[in-house]
Amino acid sequence: MNPYQHTIKKEITCTGIGLHSGKPVTLTISPAAADSGINFRRSDVNGKCTIPAFMDRVVDTRLATTIGEADVTVATTEHLLAALSGLGIDNATIELDTAEVPIMDGSAGPFVQLLNKSGRKQQKSLRKLIRVTDDISYQNGDGSIRIHPYDGLRITALIDFDHHLIKKQAYTIEMTPEIFAREIADARTFGFKKDVELLRKNGLALGGSLENAVVVDSNGVLNKDGLRFADEFVRHKILDVIGDLALLGFPLLGHVIAYKSGHGQHLELMREIAARTDAWELVTLKKSSTTFESKIVSMKKAAGEGFIPLLLSHPATFADNSCAA
């Protein structure tokens, strides 16, 4: 891993529609200063409104991950955040003119192409990372997610669907920008035809189509061109894990194992990480080295709010916002 933080070289723009809202959206990604992190801005909202891509800003995890500040929200953040995290981009400002990130083709692939077109720019500040030193886990019903100590970032996803095409699938990656772009970024979100019809009756998935999702019925995949990978379903689960865990605000060192997990479990794991200050340390990468210079950060817990320790060391804590829809 490069020890230095990165942003993008130049501003880039794309257009699309929101998966759930069905509304057109224009999204622009701009370079940002070192140590500023990833921040979203809504250009359609009066006044200044910046929403840091940080876990304490998550307001909804049903069907997608939504972050917000006051009454202003940005939905379906996970695919774009996965692209930024997967390519090692630490700092960027994302501006959009509505309340949902465009779904593009249902994967992170188009965002990877866009970011590669801009290019990465190395910055002077060194990266800080969360290195897990003890097992941390969260379980809710059949779904679980846990993380073990590991010198690097390894992600394993396991799924189990009662469908002849999907059944049980498992996949593991050693996270690097090259592996992410080659094996994970193009895996699309998926759903079952019967569920999509129900969602639309309830005013959701209004922008969904075979152009931006894999749709399955009792016979198989409805998309004309079929699957991009034989195990595209589990690969997309890894994509979601990467995108959601980007909301920790720092790159992660550990082996994440997600079994039948979703956005809600991902958020709860982040809260467990923040609460378990005995199970991780904040480290700084040495200059021109792949080894670590460990710096344990002393933090205090706030009663009833287990994720406060991370906030104490993250620039999102000090964001100056005045958001009103």
**Which residues are marked as active site?**
263
Burial class for 308, CB neighbours closer than 10 Å (0-12, 13-18, 19+): middle
Query: What type of residue sits at position 256?
Result: V
What are the E-state strand segments in 61-202?
66-69, 72-74, 92-96, 120-126, 128-132, 136-140, 143-148, 153-160, 168-174, 190-192
- Dihedral, CA atoms, 258, 261, 262, 268, nearest 10 degrees? -80
DSSP per-residue string spanning 27-41: EEEEE--TT--EEEE
| Cβ count near 220 (within 10 Å) | 12
Nearest to 261 by CA among 103, 144, 114: 144
Instruction: Name the phi and psi angles at 294, rounded to 5.
Output: -80, 135
* Cα–Cα–Cα angle for 80, 151, 31, rounded to 5 degrees: 30
DSSP per-residue string spanning 208-226: --TTSSEEE-SSSB-STT-
Separation between Cα atoms, residue 290 and residue 260, nearest integer Å: 33
Instruction: Name the phi and psi angles at 310, rounded to 5.
Output: -70, -35
